């Protein structure tokens, strides 16, 4: 892990290799669950989101978040016990709920796995009623064996007033030198649903990446 800090700067201007963090720069708000070490949270920050809070159970991951973004409000807490009501009306509820219930590297127990936190994510959507929801998981979630469960999740969100979308995206299609396919679940409130579109792949040649690494 890398952290750079210049003496004399306030928390809001603490600098990391990813640039300055200044909450006043951001107009969209988010709550991140199962935040891990902050990879997705950092991407959302770069996309213009201010994180009202991040929830993560792992102590070391929380330490990493606090060290690199001292201004972030980080809760070391099980999301089963997290109350989303203080964050009612934020723009985005995002997170990466545990993957083992749906991974081919595990037993793929799905909803019968104690680590499945999709029900908690749905509960938080009900409590918060964000404008949009974005959850990521492993590609195994798109396997036929989980079709009924995907339908169940979509129906739960539709009953709360959301239009839902599922897709598989690969990081390597967006300039990242890594084969990392991930399932994305997006739900938007009906009044904003027509404005959504999945990103278009923008592959970058390996030669360009090599040049970036050495310059």
The DSSP secondary-structure symbol of 16 reads E
Burial code (b: 16+ CB inside 10 Å, e: under 16) for 187-196 equals: bbbeeebeee
How far, in Å, are 29, 32, 67, 140 from residue 45 at the CA level? 10, 11, 16, 28
Choice among 53, 99, 138, 188 that is catalytic: 99
- Interatomic CA distance for residues 44 and 42, integer angstroms: 5
Checking DSSP bridges between strand 92-95 and strand 28-33, what pairing results, if any?
parallel
- The yes-or-no answer on residue 34 being catalytic is no
Residues tagged active-site: 99
């Amino acid at each position: 892990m890398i952290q750079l800090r210049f003496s004399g700067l306030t928390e809001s201007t603490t600098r990391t290799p990813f640039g300055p963090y200044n909450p006043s720069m951001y107009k969209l708000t988010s709550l991140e669950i199962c935040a891990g070490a902050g990879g997705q949270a950092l991407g959302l920050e770069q996309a213009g989101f201010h994180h009202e809070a991040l929830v993560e159970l792992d102590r070391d991951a929380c330490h990493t978040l606090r060290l690199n973004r001292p201004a972030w409000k980080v809760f070391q807490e099980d999301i089963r016990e997290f109350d989303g009501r203080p964050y009612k009306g934020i723009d985005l509820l995002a997170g990466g709920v545990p993957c083992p219930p749906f991974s081919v590297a595990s037993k793929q127990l799905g909803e019968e796995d104690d680590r499945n936190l999709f029900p908690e994510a749905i509960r938080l959507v009900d409590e918060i009623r964000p404008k949009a929801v974005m959850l990521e998981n492993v590609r195994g979630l798109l396997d036929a064996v989980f079709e009924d469960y995907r339908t169940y999740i979509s129906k739960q969100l539709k009953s709360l007033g959301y239009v839902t979308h599922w897709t598989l995206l690969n990081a390597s299609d967006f300039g990242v030198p890594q084969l990392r396919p991930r399932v994305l679940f997006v739900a938007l409130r009906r009044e904003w649903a027509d404005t959504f579109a999945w990103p278009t792949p923008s592959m970058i040649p390996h030669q360009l990446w090599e040049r970036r690494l050495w310059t």
